[in-house]
Structure 1
Amino acid sequence: NSLKVLATSLFRTDEYDKALELYDQILSKEPKNTDVLLSKGHLYKTSGDINKSISSYKKAYNVDRFFGDAYWSLANLKTYNFSKDEIKSLKSMINDKFVSDDEKVFMHFALAKAYEDEEDFKRSFEHYKKGNDYKHTKSMFNLKDFEIECQNQKEVCTKDLFETKKDWGFESSEPIFILGLPRVGSTLIEQIISSHSSVDATHELPNIIATALKLNKRQIQNMESRYPDILLGLSDPQLKLIGENYVKDAEVFRSKGIYFIDKMPNNFKHIGLISLILPNAKIIDIRRNSMSACFSCYKQLFAEGQEFTYNLENLAGYYNGYVDLMKHWNEVLPNKILSINYEDVVNDFEISVQKILDYCGLPFEKACLEFYKSKRSVKTPSAEQVRQPIYTSGMDYWKNYEPYLDDLKNNLKY
């Protein structure tokens, strides 16, 4: 449906009123179009209208009670509590042999959240595990490949490389990268910084990863031409052009700010590339207690990507690799990256905000302390959480599930 494709494009570029108009246009002709009802719910969630979001998700499952994504989308609001009838219905459907496994995955994650809210953590974990186990069988993630990828970055991106190509690339200081693992507080940091009058929030932009993939496809037969090895041979004009194109491509997501944020978490693997093409960019590494960080990922059913999160051993291995690679970046790029602990932000909020603003070269603005008053759209699972003041209740939440997390705990190095 060309109208739906257009509406989705408008949604992605933050033109919500136009997207909503098109969704309503489609629903006037196809009132039982569950995909559009779901998309409409996502739009309301992103723009902060939670009641309308709930209403739209419920309309979707009232049209098709086996539409699992509608239940997961309610759970993914993080603030919605399922009714007894909804829980009963979900329990019945996961035992129905005629319901597809793909739909059951959504239902398992939804039920896990429902039991979590009831503090029945044993039953909650059983459903998180069933949902994750199924996703793991479909996952293409290979821990060995990830470890090799990190090792390649360390071997190619040395101190010598950065000293030789110092001040090459595009001189813009507009980008602020927030990276690390997903679900560790990056949306909170983004919300704080983007509350500043000089900063635009964009999205988890795929541009850096797309650039890495593009570089990797050049003359595939020659190892020196592969990424990251190709970084060794790129000239100043080439690096400058790549950096300039990155900034230009981000314009569609920006408004009037001097600076803009890219919060794609997976960019931590590409800090070498970022530093070569954008030597003046700011890079913020947000991290969290390893058990908290990993379990928060395990509880999340991601729309796409992040396939390492569907298995506890893979999660531990990925976290270990991330910390090791960040250690390397800090050694070869001293004083380049700001490392922020989520726990410090929660416990010493004003000091942490000042530290972040100082690093970004931004004058203090009170709006950064009152980030939860921001009306901007938020497209991550934390959309509702960052519309509330700082809270400490989630800090050691993983401990409720500790008896079931041995595979994670025993494999974490940090």
Structure 2
Amino acid sequence: YEAALARDSRHPEALNNLGAALCKLGRYSQAEDQFRRAIAARTSYADAYCNLGTVLRLQGRVTESELPLRRALKLKPAYLAAQVSLGTTLLALGRLRDATVPLERALKVAPRDVDAICGLGQIAALEGRFADAEALYKRALDVDSNAHGSWAALARLRRMTPADGAWLKGAEACAKRGLAPHDEAGARYALGKYYDDVGDFKRAFSSYQRANELQKLAAEPYGRGARTRFVDDLIRTYTSETIGGTRAGASGSMRPAFVVGMPRSGTTLVAQIIHSHPAARSAGELAFWPEAVHKHAATLRQGPPDEALTRKLAKGCLSVLAARFPDALRVVDKTPFNSDYLGVIHSVFPKARIIYLRRDPIDACLSCYFQAFLPSLNFTMDLSDLAHYYQEHRRLMDHWRRVLPPEILLEVPYAGLIGAQEEWSRRIVDFLGLPWDPSCLEFHRTERVVRTASYWQVRQPIYKDSVGRWRNYEKFIGPLLELRDRTPA
């Protein structure tokens, strides 16, 4: 490809093919550049639009990925790869009904398309239809035993046991077949889960370590200095003086509520408990606040929003919630990283309730390390980076404790919730200003779509073996042990 580009630097096919090669190597940012160059060279190039949409999703920029995929389908309505990629993007956006349409359309044309089969399997899993999901994933493996995503997905559907020897044999063979780094990483994460489930912690950690090494190849390096400066700026800018009182344009609505914390700290569990209440709903992880803060970053870096922007943000947020759940008194956004935006959120909704999940720092960090996140969560792929991120997270939350009114912030200890479910469930419901309802204790029976890595766990009763789990791995996780004596943040 580079030889062809040396002769003609605007050769569309060469640019697109080079981008595809870079994508297979996990070099997503560079691949994106090549796809954009291919589109600039030929604005009607459907393949390049499809590849651009796919690589944007792989970088975690899911909202951006929909438009180029729809453009590809406008140019080539029967384009199978674009149908499947669009379905995968809509699935990632939580629009499961919309996602089903292109995926089923693709299967009508190509009944053995593994990606379409797996996409429908993931929809079934997210909806709690685990038997249907298992059947679809096994169907994909019947088509192609190298379908690494299916091996991994089967492991996430339930707790594995030594009786799953056939799965283990197939997954190990798949991981050794010279897959692209990102694909092999998925298989290694799945093997890690198997070995963790059966109590072989040495092999589990080795598998997870290899998975993270591969995952890092596709990620930008985590910038510790940049993260520290970001937290410094928030602490300096959003003080009790700048966000105290009621700002002009602020909404008095208590409809929005927020559940924040480190990833893997129990936010999905709390959201499921709240969603079980007949007057409340969980919207999952909404992109509204991250996107709004990014869009208005230049303004919000200087301080809280002015009256016009405050009104705009309040109206926008309430519109999103009303569109999803028009009858709910409380709608929870459980995006963990909203902890970065609590100063802005409180400025816009000074009465909104915020629930903060505190989990043992080593358990929280280790659970992140064991999870196959997108490359954008680059701090999760290295134990030292995780320790640094946690320390900055704790420093920021200590600040919010000092400057936010105590009546709008409830701290929930994960271990306390696990050990005294009813007590903490009652406190959470009361904090939201709702009457108690016993259905909150039956959260695992609640029907809702769960779009996070916890979709299987939250449909089980409370289990306690996640508390102190890090002790199984103590001899492997030296960089995290410096967090041992810290109070959970």
TM > 0.5 fold call: yes
1:117 corresponds to which letter in structure 2? D
1:328 aligns with 2:399: yes
1:307 to 336, 355, 378: 378
Q: Distance in 2 between matches of 1:13 and 1:250?
A: 15
Asked which structure has the greater RCO (Cα within 8 Å, sep 6+), the reply is 1
What are the within-5 Å matches in structure 2 for residues 11-410 of structure 1? 11=91, 16=96, 19-20=99-100, 23-81=103-161, 83-96=164-177, 98-140=178-220, 141-163=222-244, 166=247, 168-216=249-297, 218=298, 225=299, 227-231=300-304, 234-303=305-374, 305-335=376-406, 336-410=408-482
2: CA distance between counterparts of 1:104 and 1:214? 35
Cα distance in structure 2, aligned partners of 1:17 and 1:160: 45
Q: Is the 8 A contact 1:373 1:387 kept in 2?
A: yes
Q: TM-score, normalising length from structure 2?
A: 0.77
Three-state SS of the structure 2 residue aligned to 1:390 is coil
Q: Does the residue aligned with 2:258 lie in a helix, a strand or coil?
A: strand
| Residues 1:49 and 1:80: Cα distance change in structure 2 (over 3 Å) | farther
- Closer, same or farther: CA 62–251 of 1 in aligned 2, 3 Å: farther
The one-letter code matched in structure 1 to 2:471 is K
Q: What's the offset of the Cα at 1:12? A: 6.4
Q: What is the CA distance between 1:410 and its match in structure 2?
A: 2.8
1:303 is displaced (CA, Å) by 4.2
Q: Find the aligned partners of 1:163 and 1:85 in 2 and give their Cα distance.
A: 60
- CA offset at residue 174 of structure 1? 0.7
Contact 2:160–2:198 (Cα < 8 Å) also in 1: no
Give the Cα–Cα distance (whole angstroms) in 1 for the partners of residues 243 and 202 of structure 2. 50
Percent of aligned positions that are identical: 27
Q: Structure 1, residues 259-289: CA drift from partner, whole Å, max 9, x if none? A: 2110100110110010011112111111201
Aligned residues: 403
- Structure 1: distance between partners of 2:333 and 2:321: 9
CA drift at 1:126: 0.4
| 1:126-184 Cα shifts (integer Å, max 9, x gaps) | 01000012222332221221111111000000111023654752222111111111111
Mapped contact 1:66–1:103 kept (Cα < 8 A):
no
Bigger shift: 246-255 or 51-60? 246-255
CA distance in 2, matches of 1:174, 1:350: 24
Runs of 4+ in 1 over 6 A off after TM superposition: 12-15
> Which runs of no fewer than 5 residues in structure 2 stay unpaired?
1-78
Please give the alpha-carbon distance, in whole angstroms, between the structure 1 residues aligned to 2:435 and 2:345.
Answer: 25
Within 2, Cα distance between the matches of 1:6 and 1:320? Answer: 38
Amino acid at match of 2:197: D
- Structure-2 separation of matches of 1:200 and 1:322: 27
Distance in 1 (CA, whole Å) between partners of 2:368 and 2:241 is 36
**CA–CA distance in 2 between the matches of 1:10 and 1:104?**
24
Any conservation in 2 of the 1:27–1:36 contact (CA below 8 Å)? yes
> CA offsets per residue over residues 48-95 of structure 1, 9 Å max, x none?
110111111222233222222222222223435583233223333433
Quick check: which has more Rg, 1 or 2? 2
CA contact (8 A) 2:87 2:119 kept: no
1:398 to partner: Cα distance? 1.7
- 8 Å contact from structure 1 (residues 136, 310) kept in 2: yes
SS of the equivalent of 1:91 reads: helix
The residue type paired with residue 360 of structure 2 is N
1:252 partner SS? helix
Q: What is the letter of the counterpart of residue 260 of structure 1? A: V
Aligned in 2, Cα 1:388/1:249: closer, same or farther, shift over 3 Å?
same
CA RMSD of aligned residues (A): 2.2
Contact 2:282 2:332 in 1 (8 A): yes
TM-score by length of structure 1 reads 0.91
Query: Structure 1 residues 238 and 100 mapped into 2: Cα distance closer, same or farther (>3 Å)?
Result: closer
Q: What is the distance in 2 between the residues matched to 1:17 and 1:344?
A: 37
Q: Deviations over 1:229-256 (max 9, x none)?
A: 142xx32232122121122133333253
Partners of 1:349 and 1:143 in 2: CA distance? 36
Distance 1:119-1:164 versus aligned 2 partners, 3 A rule:
closer
Q: What residue identity is the alignment partner of 1:172?
A: S
